[in-house]
Amino acid sequence: MKLGIVVPRYGDTSIGGAERALRQLGEHLVSLAGWEVEAFATCARSAVDWADLEEPGTTEINGVTVHRFESVSGRDPAWGNVAVRVEESPTTVDGVGQKMYIDMQGPVNPDMIAAATASDADLLALGPYLFWPTVEGIAANPERSILHGAAHDEPALHLGTIERTYVSARAISYYSEAERDLVQGMFPVAHKPSVVLGLGVDPVDIPPGAEASARERFGIGDRPYIMCLGRLENGKGARALDAFFREYKARRRGPLALVFVGPANERLDPHPDIIVTDAVDEDDKWGLLAGSEIVVNPSAMESFSIVVPEAWLAGRPVMVNAHCAATVEHIKSGRGGIAFDGYPSFEAGLDRLLSDPALRHALAEAGRRYTIDRFAWPSVVSRYAEFCRRLIAVR
């Protein structure tokens, strides 16, 4: 069995949760007997401009053959003007406007689509849904495409072009039941072969000195802190969390800090109890997770959120945005945290968890067991491999 992965960017230096999920899936699949995986990607690392930073050509990364191609264009500086129309009223944007939105967002890369189309892969896994390579890759290869959409309810999902992409795909892999329910409620795709796969996780062995090292490196000291892991940007709820925490500190004096961990795509006003680390390596990430009291995911736009199971593996409970169906699904199924729908419930939830170490431990342990049962890599890879075999058998 040979799987082709089609993504806008590929590799350890590329920042993107959906792309990372497909990369890790491919790297685990090649460990199975009889499986080959190759990837088709641009030379980009960042979606900010899709600049070609990697060398074009073919290489091997952790058993996966990777083909990279230079793009015709990245993100057009004027794309934001088109995006405003989509955000305000996506259903009124005509076909020309939708094409402009996809093309100007980028990365436009006909060579990678041509190479994927010419490949001898039995199936092609493409994602996320929003970008040019996925839209054009499925249009060129509908009969062997598995769409890993990573969808959440945002204006772009309401475009006719995106509906055609979902309808054209041979099969769909969902990251959560919430994502499946959203997509099947919007598009006529419930009859298509599908799997609710989730994201895989590996066992975690946090080095004994990782927490102390991270605390020292980022100037946290011995203060207690809550943590937000992921891109620091408004679309991920970072500004809302920033505002909530400032209000909380105005009402609750004390040493508690908030640490934002991840690429800082936006700047926050200085505050003595708010720390921004920017991007960190894996050792520091796990050290910071281990040192935190609570991990907060304020994003309302997630199809899965690997942050939640990672927090549980580190032994920490979570607080999530009640308006995000995927993360709420996690805490209902895993019983590992609480949801907040505004400042009052944020304050009440934080007070409750901070005041009860035994409750924090019990929630984190319940979440850890759920994570291992549902998302350990052997289970995820086995489900996906069987799904692919069934697709080939009935083709």
Q: What angle do CA 323, 329, 333 make, to 5 degrees?
A: 150
> Do both 143 and 283 map to the same domain?
no
> Do both 190 and 226 map to the same domain?
no
* pLDDT at residue 394, as a whole number: 83
Can you state the angle between helices 177-186 and 325-334, rounded to 10 degrees? 140
Residue 22 lies in a domain: yes
> Do both 251 and 342 map to the same domain?
yes
One-character DSSP codes across 156-191: GGGSHHHHHHHHH-SEEEESSHHHHHHHHHHSS-TT
**Number of domains comprising the chain:** 2
* pLDDT at residue 17, as a whole number: 80
pLDDT values of the chain reduced to their tens digit, one per residue, 395 residues: 999 999 999 987 656 688 989 999 999 999 999 999 999 999 999 888 999 999 999 999 999 999 999 999 999 999 999 999 999 999 999 999 999 999 999 999 999 999 999 999 999 999 999 999 999 999 999 999 999 999 999 999 999 999 999 999 999 999 999 999 999 999 999 999 999 999 999 888 898 899 999 999 999 999 999 999 998 999 899 999 999 999 999 999 999 999 999 999 899 999 999 999 999 999 999 999 999 999 999 999 898 999 999 999 999 999 999 999 999 999 999 999 999 999 999 999 999 999 999 999 999 999 999 999 999 999 999 999 999 999 999 86
Q: Residue 153, exposed/middle/buried by CB under 10 A (0-12, 13-18, 19+)? A: middle
- Report d(CA 172, CA 166) in Å as an integer: 8
Listed residue (283, 357, 378) closest to 315, CA to CA: 357
DSSP label at 56?
A: P
> Do both 273 and 314 map to the same domain?
yes
Three-class HEC string of 194-248: EEECCCCECCCCCCCCHHHHHHHHCCCCCCCEEEEECCECHHHCHHHHHHHHHHH
Residue 299 lies in a domain: yes
> Do both 227 and 191 map to the same domain?
no
Q: Are 67 and 43 in contact (CB under 8 A)?
A: no
User: pTM value?
Assistant: 0.88
Q: Which amino acid is at 94?
A: D
- Report d(CA 33, CA 11) in Å as an integer: 23
Phi/psi for 207 (5° steps) reads: -55, 145
Residue 7 lies in a domain: yes
- Report d(CA 21, CA 89) in Å as an integer: 31
> Do both 191 and 223 map to the same domain?
no
- State the sign of the Cα–Cα–Cα–Cα dihedral 310, 275, 339, 177: negative
CATH of residue 370:
3.40.50.2000
- Report d(CA 71, CA 256) in Å as an integer: 46
Boundaries of domain holding 125: 2-200+376-393
Residue 97 lies in a domain: yes
> Do both 314 and 281 map to the same domain?
yes
* pLDDT at residue 14, as a whole number: 58
> Do both 178 and 126 map to the same domain?
yes
* pLDDT at residue 320, as a whole number: 98
